[in-house]
Structure 1
Amino acid sequence: MRNVTTIKTQRASGSASATLFGCLFAAQSSLLVLTPILSGVAADLEVSPAAAGQLRAVSGVVAVIVAVGLLIIRRRWELRGLLALGLGLLATAAVASAAAPSFTALAVAQIVLGGGVALVLAGGLAAAASWAPDGQRATLLSWALVGQPSAWIVGMPVIGFVGDHSWRLAWLVPLAACVLTLIRVLRREPGTPEPAPTSVRKLFRRPGATRWATTELMAYAGWAGVLVYCGSLLTEAHGASAAAAGIALGGGASGFVIGTFVARRWVEHAARPMLLITGPGMAAAALILGAVRPSFGFSVTMFAVIAFLAGARMIAGSAVGLDLAGVGALQAMSIRAASMQGGYLGGAVLGGVGLALGGWSVVGAVLALPLLISVAVTAADRGSARRSTENLKVGAR
């Protein structure tokens, strides 16, 4: 009987893991598709490359707004339905983008895409907690999280290859990921709706909620800035071709996958200490990446180191959010989705400012700063929690 139960648990965990991996892969590939095809989009739709570059900002801002909306709307969401809606929006956006007759139409499609990204990111990571069999949360969380870097590793080369023939055909990659994952989601039995959400005012009065949201925003600003500018560093500082930089970054991104799977062994019991270890490591690596550039291989190695630490840091940060007292999984992951997209926008701005002020060395310094702020806030949060525990013990006496 015990063996039968174990097999059923493993099958349920494996099925849910594959579905959540697909959800985050679909969301990330939808965001990535513009990266290698921007020049083609600009030329075909007769806009400047700078204007085409703003399309990513459109989807990012909308994703933040929708994620915040999930916090505000007092509705009990059922996660299967939420994920199906998000994937449906992503598929619709992909079709609309591929068929866009004008730049305005393409920008409107990015609005739809941003909404879908927010729903899938928040719902997918919340499901890692809600769908997990006993003792399997770390497993589901790790598989969900590695869906995003896998889109870099696998999806980006495919998008680049197809995009060389037509930027419109490149949208078939996220479309296929969305449709295949949507089929898996719809095959699941509807679950129990999530608990009634706490009002935003009460939510951020919960112990640690505001500090955790701040740490996630700062950490993603630093990490996203590295993602945004590392490719330019490889091509400009080392003279690498775009193809070589893309392959190198895809290989380096595998460090995120490895870091996530290594960290999941300890995340259930040591999530906060992991934040205090990985944060300074990421900051130091970002400084070195910007300031020390002896060779192309060295810079790629430093990027892989940052990616490894980021993988460990992000699963730990997600676990801390899911464990916040009195905060539902969907609300916590909605905060995380808003922090992630806000961090991408903030990291892009910070890196641009650093590059304008003093080159790559300054870029490394300004991206290390939010990472160190996240560590300082985490340390303060641990101290506050310790003092609260001590006060409770004193009161009990």
Structure 2
Amino acid sequence: MTSPAATLFRCLFAGQAGLLVLTPVLSDVARAFGVSAATAGQLRAVSGAVAALVALGLLAGGRRWDLRDLLSAGLTSIATASAASAVAPTFEVLATAQVVLGAGMALVLAAGLAAAARWAPDGERAKVLSWALIGQPIAWVVGMPVVGVLGAQSWRLTWLLPLAASLFALVGVHGRNREGPEPASAGSPLRRPGVTRWAAGELLAFAGWAGVLVYSGSLLTDAHGVAVTTAGTALGAGAAGYVVGTFLARRWVVQAARRLVLVTSPALAAAAVLLGSFRPSFGMSVALFALTALLAGMRMMAGSALGLDLGAGPLQAMSVRAAAVQFGYFGGSALGGVGLMLAGWSGLGAVLAVFLLLSAVVTATPRVMVKVGA
């Protein structure tokens, strides 16, 4: 049987692969269907909105399902959506495929992070959680160069990455035994102390980070005029910062997760402003993206740790987080696009920074306590 860390790494890798493929080829997709880059960016808003609704549905009925079954359903949805996106004849069909993709990403994200708590051996929750979470940035590190090479031939070929990744992850998931649904608990998790503030903070933080993910590829190709292959390779290298940040945060989340959230959120906001407004060279933009990714890795690891210790149960807590993440992605994609249209890349950076600063303000409550190592 594959270890929980390896299995969940594959799952989160596949989920992120479905998200990242559009990043370096967004401009190509826009040209292929005769729409603006901002309009093409709304494809992520579509999948995000659906993912948020699916995550909310898990809050009501998620405890009736086994985590393995949820992961299998999510990965199958990602594979199906990827195949449909690759052959989409119109922008409307491509947008429809993002509906299926969004549902799959929500299932994988919620069930995958819940499994990090439930499947982890005693005392190893932070370790398994960190390995699950780095599946996302590793998808960028490995996947972006692949997407860049495939995208240079055709943006349609880029969908081979999430298709292959989801099928590979399914093999690991099917190798685990069913364990039954989580034990039921009374009441909505949002009624527990600190959960609503934490969820709102996650929503705002991911709105800021989503804008970076959705539009960074276009920033490199449009603002600096580099090829898709070059942009994909650069973004993949820069995303290694997220891995570093996640492992750095793992050292402190047992005792200081809330403090880490409050410190990294404004730092991440400053990095977003610089990424959008300070573009003296291609190399500097890539370096700023890497710095932003490092701070995001620390912030998201700390935020996940907070949620798992709020007493709501792993699946319900991570369903709340998945909903917050996807609503955040929706807001970041949509309002980030507005900022881009009104004030260019500097406007985009300013909008994202506001989200990130507000996430620190909302999360600033002493009632949120963390005992990840318990």
Q: Give the TM-score of the pair, scaled to structure 2.
A: 0.89
The residue aligned with 1:331 is 316
Does the Cα contact within 8 Å between 2:25 and 2:155 map onto a contact in 1?
A: yes
Conserved 8 A contact 1:59-1:113: yes
Residue equivalent to 1:8: none
Cα distance in 2 for residues equivalent to 1:141 and 1:182: 19
The question of 1:214 aligning with 2:189 is answered no
Q: Which residue of 2 aligns with 1:203?
A: 189
The alpha-carbon distance between structure 1 residues 69 and 356, as it changes in their structure 2 partners (threshold 3 A), is same
Q: Offset of 1:67 from its aligned partner?
A: 0.7
Question: Which amino acid in structure 2 is aligned with residue 372 of structure 1?
Answer: L
Aligned partner of residue 112 in structure 1, secondary structure = helix
Cα deviation code 1:78-130 (max 9, x no counterpart): 11111111112222222333344555444333222211111001000000000
Give the equivalent residue in structure 2 for 1:125.
113
Q: For residue 288 of structure 1, give the secondary structure of its aligned residue in structure 2.
A: helix
SS in structure 2 opposite 1:324? Answer: coil
Q: Secondary structure at the match of 2:181?
A: coil
| CA shift for structure 1 position 334 | 1.0
Query: How many aligned positions are there?
Result: 368
Give the deviation of 1:192 after TM superposition. Answer: 3.5
Q: CA deviation at 1:39?
A: 5.9
Unaligned runs of 5+ in 2: 370-374
Q: Which runs of 5+ in 1 are unaligned?
A: 1-11, 387-397
- Name which of 130, 144, 164 aligns with 1:142: 130
1:313 offset after TM fit, Å? 0.8
Higher mean alpha-carbon deviation, 113-122 vs 230-239, is at 230-239
1:69 maps onto 2:57 in alignment? yes
Give me the whole-angstrom Cα distance separating, in 1, the residues matched to 2:194 and 2:201.
10
Q: Equivalent residues in 2 for 1:24-63 (5 A)?
A: 24-37=12-25, 48=35, 53-63=41-51
Q: Which moved more, 1:242-251 or 1:309-318?
A: 242-251
Hey, what does 1:229 align to over in structure 2? 215
Offset, 1:196 = 1.8
Structure 1: distance between partners of 2:113 and 2:79 = 20
Report sequence identity in percent.
62
Aligned to 1:188: 176
SS in 1 for 2:239: helix
Alignment correspondent of 2:232: 246
Q: Using a 3 Å threshold, how does the CA distance of structure 1 residues 168 and 352 change in structure 2: closer, same or farther?
A: closer
| Candidates 277, 301, 310, aligned match of 2:263 | 277
Contact 1:76 1:195 in 2 (8 A): no
Kindly tell me: are residues 198 and 219 of structure 1, through their superposed partners in 2, closer, same or farther at Cα, counting changes over 3 Å? Answer: farther
Instruction: Please tell me the root mean square deviation across aligned C-alpha atoms, in Å.
Output: 2.5
Residue 228 to residue 194, structure 1, CA distance change in 2 (3 Å): same
Segment of structure 1 superposing worse, 143-152 or 125-134: 143-152
8 Å Cα contact 2:59/2:320 also seen in 1: yes
TM-score by length of 1: 0.85
Could you tell me how far 1:166 is from its partner in structure 2? 4.3
Question: CA, structure 1 residues 169+295, in 2 after alignment: closer, same or farther (shift >3 Å)?
Answer: closer
The residue identity in structure 2 corresponding to 1:286 is A
Deviation at residue 61 of structure 1 after TM alignment: 1.5
Q: Which residue of 2 aligns with 1:268?
A: 254
